[in-house]
Structure 1
Amino acid sequence: MKRALITGITGQDGSYLAELLLEKDYKVYGVRRRTSTPNYDNVEHIKEQIEWIDGDLGDLASLIEAVRISQPDEVYNLAAQSFVATSWPQPIATAQMTALGVTNMLEAVRIIKPDARFYQASSSEMYGKVVETPQKENTPFYPRSPYGVSKVYGHWITVNYRESFNMFACSGILFNHESPRRGLEFVTRKVTNAVARIKLGLQDELRMGNLDAKRDWGFAGDYVKAMWLMLQQDQPDDYVISTGETHTVEELLEIAFSYVDLNWKDFVVIDQKFVRPAEVDLLLGDCSKAKVKLGWNLEVDFKMLVTMMVEEDLKRLKVIQVTI
Structure 2
Amino acid sequence: MSKIALITGITGQDGSYLAELLLGKGYEVHGVIRRASTFNTHRIDHLYEDPHGVGVKLHLHYGDLSDGVRLVTLLNEIAPDEVYNLAAQSHVRVSFDEPEHTADTTGTGTVRLLEAIRASKVRPKFYQASTSELYGATPPPQDEETPFYPRSPYAAAKLYSYWITKNYREAYDMFAVNGILFNHESPRRGETFVTRKITRAVAAIKAGQQEHLYMGNIDSIRDWGYAAEYVEGMWRMLQVDEPEDFVLATGDGITVRDFLEVSFAHAGLNWEDHIKYDPRYLRPTEVDALIGDPSKAKAKLGWVPTISGRELAKLMVVADIEALKHGDKWIDKVQLASWDAS
* Alignment TM class, shorter chain as reference: over 0.9
Give the conservation status (yes or no) of the 8 Å contact 2:252–2:308: no
Q: How far 1:70 sits from its partner (Å)?
A: 1.1
Corresponding residue for residue 234 of structure 1: 241
Question: Which structure 2 residue ranges, 5 or more long, are not aligned?
Answer: 49-55, 330-342
Query: What is the identity, as a one-letter code, of the residue corresponding to 1:318?
Result: K
Corresponding residue for residue 82 of structure 1: 90
Are residue 217 (structure 1) and residue 224 (structure 2) matched?
A: yes
Give the conservation status (yes or no) of the 8 Å contact 1:119–1:171: yes
Q: How far 1:321 sits from its partner (Å)?
A: 6.8
Corresponding residue for residue 159 of structure 2: 152
Corresponding residue for residue 18 of structure 1: 19
Matches within 5 A, 1:93-242: 93-130=101-138, 132-242=139-249
Percent of aligned positions that are identical: 54
Matches within 5 A, 1:236-275: 236-275=243-282
> Within 2, Cα distance between the matches of 1:265 and 1:172?
36
Q: Secondary structure at the match of 2:29?
A: strand
Give the conservation status (yes or no) of the 8 Å contact 2:76–2:122: no
Query: What is the identity, as a one-letter code, of the residue corresponding to 1:98?
Result: T
Give the direction of change, closer, same or farther, for the CA distance of 1:321–1:241 in structure 2 (3 Å limit): closer
> Within 1, Cα distance between the matches of 2:240 and 2:7?
19
Query: What is the identity, as a one-letter code, of the residue corresponding to 1:41?
Result: H
Give the conservation status (yes or no) of the 8 Å contact 1:72–1:113: no
Give the conservation status (yes or no) of the 8 Å contact 1:209–1:271: yes
Are residue 38 (structure 1) and residue 46 (structure 2) matched?
A: no
TM-score of the aligned structures, taking structure 2 as reference length: 0.92
> Within 2, Cα distance between the matches of 1:321 and 1:141?
40
> Within 1, Cα distance between the matches of 2:70 and 2:204?
41
Corresponding residue for residue 298 of structure 1: 305
Are residue 6 (structure 1) and residue 7 (structure 2) matched?
A: yes
Q: Secondary structure at the match of 1:191?
A: helix
> Within 1, Cα distance between the matches of 2:82 and 2:312?
29
Q: How far 1:80 sits from its partner (Å)?
A: 0.2
Q: Secondary structure at the match of 1:240?
A: strand
Query: What is the identity, as a one-letter code, of the residue corresponding to 1:82?
Result: S
Q: How far 1:304 sits from its partner (Å)?
A: 2.0
Q: How far 1:299 sits from its partner (Å)?
A: 2.3
Q: Kindly provide the CA deviation profile for residues 237-265 of structure 1, in whole angstroms up to 9, marking residues without a partner as x.
A: 00011010100001000110001100000
Q: How far 1:234 sits from its partner (Å)?
A: 0.3
Corresponding residue for residue 72 of structure 2: 64
Corresponding residue for residue 332 of structure 2: none
Q: Secondary structure at the match of 1:53?
A: strand
Q: Secondary structure at the match of 1:46?
A: helix
Give the conservation status (yes or no) of the 8 Å contact 1:118–1:231: yes
> Within 1, Cα distance between the matches of 2:186 and 2:24?
19
> Within 1, Cα distance between the matches of 2:281 and 2:91?
13
Q: Secondary structure at the match of 2:130?
A: strand
Query: What is the identity, as a one-letter code, of the residue corresponding to 1:272?
Result: P
Question: Which structure 1 residue ranges, 5 or more long, are not aligned?
Answer: none
Q: Secondary structure at the match of 1:28?
A: strand
Give the direction of change, closer, same or farther, for the CA distance of 1:158–1:316 in structure 2 (3 Å limit): same
Aligned pair partner of 1:55 in 38, 60, 63? 63
Give the conservation status (yes or no) of the 8 Å contact 1:29–1:52: yes
Corresponding residue for residue 325 of structure 2: 318
> Within 1, Cα distance between the matches of 2:141 and 2:135?
10
> Within 2, Cα distance between the matches of 1:68 and 1:36?
27
> Within 1, Cα distance between the matches of 2:200 and 2:45?
21
Aligned residues: 321
> Within 1, Cα distance between the matches of 2:219 and 2:99?
26
Q: How far 1:44 sits from its partner (Å)?
A: 1.1
Q: Secondary structure at the match of 2:46?
A: coil
Q: Secondary structure at the match of 2:326?
A: helix
Give the conservation status (yes or no) of the 8 Å contact 2:79–2:122: no
> Within 2, Cα distance between the matches of 1:242 and 1:289?
11
TM-score of the aligned structures, taking structure 1 as reference length: 0.97
Structural RMSD (CA):
1.1
> Within 1, Cα distance between the matches of 2:172 and 2:221?
39
Q: How far 1:136 sits from its partner (Å)?
A: 1.0
> Within 2, Cα distance between the matches of 1:64 and 1:258?
50
Q: Secondary structure at the match of 2:43?
A: helix
Q: Kindly provide the CA deviation profile for residues 199-236 of structure 1, in whole angstroms up to 9, marking residues without a partner as x.
A: 00111100001111000000000100000000000000
Give the conservation status (yes or no) of the 8 Å contact 1:3–1:74: yes
Q: Kindly provide the CA deviation profile for residues 36-88 of structure 1, in whole angstroms up to 9, marking residues without a partner as x.
A: 11211110101454111111001101111111121000000000000001101
